[in-house]
Chain A
Amino acid sequence: MKRAGFTTVWLPVALLLPQLMIIAIFFYWPAAWAVQSSFYLQDPFGFGSTFVGVENYTDLMTNSEYGKVARFTLIYTVLVTFFSLALALLLAVKADKVIRGAKSYRTLLMWVYAIAPPVAGFLGLMFFDQRNGPLTEMFQFFGWEFRLGADFNSTATAMVIVAVWKQIPVNFIFFLSGLQSIPKAVREAALIDNRSATGRFWDVTFPLLAPTAFFLLIINITYALFDTFGIVDTLVRSEPGNNPVTLVYKVFVDGFRGNDLGGSSAQSVILMILVLVLTVFQFRLIERRIHYT
């Protein structure tokens, strides 16, 4: 590759500056500020702060409420990741077989992608409405008194369903393109070698999709952990009370409702470390990813 040469040092610096400033102002500065304030205890009325060392962290570790939220976040992440991947894969495999009208079919499945999370949450609210939500009525038919925003399990179910629904299109697009990049002749060879369609899927198709699936796994964990904030916020209607919330939402609630900026900062630092670990894991994986061809 040919490298473009600059005669002065200042031109490349000037060109990079806007981007670097955006990153510095909107990411590094708040992050540094969060790390710093996680070691302080803020006065609730904004009159100064006291250095408390790692007390904010040790408090979190012993706080049963935080443990409960962390456990819920874990279960929530596992459920959302599993179902959004599994359902998207199922849809992609089926859509891949469609020959007539394939394009419009695929476009319809991708549409949901364009919906913003709070809007998805709002649509969820209507579906799970106490009086005339169709899904509430369906659950009632099966004998489950569904009460969104009042009952822990009801809200948790709604959160999982809306988050999964919102994430399926992204996974679908990746899985579908992954499926379509599998050489036709390889599938045909499998067709001759194995009469069972299920067998062919698990022996040939799925291993060839594995790189895509690994990548999506990380993306989906990140999504469930962090990007579902809008959905959670809409569904718990800003009343965390008895409702399940995720770690990210708790950062917001403790910091801006509870005015506990120190504790909230400590929580966000923990989340930052989590993201860091996930990112390192992902890069390692991509580096080591098996290149088949």
Chain B
Amino acid sequence: MTLFGYRIPMMASLLVWCVMWEIVGRLNLVFLLPPFSEVLAAAVDLVQTPSWQKATVTTLRAFAMGMALSIVIGVPLGILMGRIKIADDLLGMWVNIFSSAPLSAIVPVLMILFGFGEKTIVAAVFLFAIWIIVLDTRAGVRHISPSLIEMARSYGASRPALYTKIILWAALPEILAGIRLGLIRGVKGVVIGQLLVAIVGYGALFETFSRNFRMAEFWALTIILFAFALVIAELIERAEAKVEYYAGARQ
């Protein structure tokens, strides 16, 4: 972004919004919106409370487990669908439905299946994250140049070698893109899951803050969550940049 010939870094626009927030907050127009400085102060206090630390550990653990499951199952499933037509015909419809369906509606069902606890949250993360990972992996595998597969076969690659030495690597840019999008969806899953269960982790905190109108803490928690989602997306993007050079180089 440039303004009057000066280059302005991207973060500057964020600063403008923060200042606006501060002004609106100080004007006391909406009681839901305390000044930004107050939210920041609340954030600093919040991270020092044992209840936040405990909730963070619970949330992170459920998130990590759900993501690990969706990657471990999603990537092989996507490869299977990209390679084998019958698998694609059988599963394609469902993956597409689930990837665009309003999944929040299913979370209550998960609660019935898995109870009011961590399992439900893990299942919610899994359910939110896996489909885009499957779809992107499948697209990546479909993208692989047929001659690369022929090359591996002509030099005597066994089936496992074909998958681990060629297919996985050739589809890696798309797989990573899928995982990045899956992580963002997974954050959604963990929040929605916890909100619905309402007695676990951040869900419990959100519930407490909003019920008692502790808006500064409520927003502080929201910002922490947003920042977390952005940071992990950024980390994956870094990894993607490392393999990007060959995403374009493939014939």
- A pairs with B: no
Residues in chain A within 8 A of chain B (CB atoms): none
Residues of B within 8 A of A (CB): none
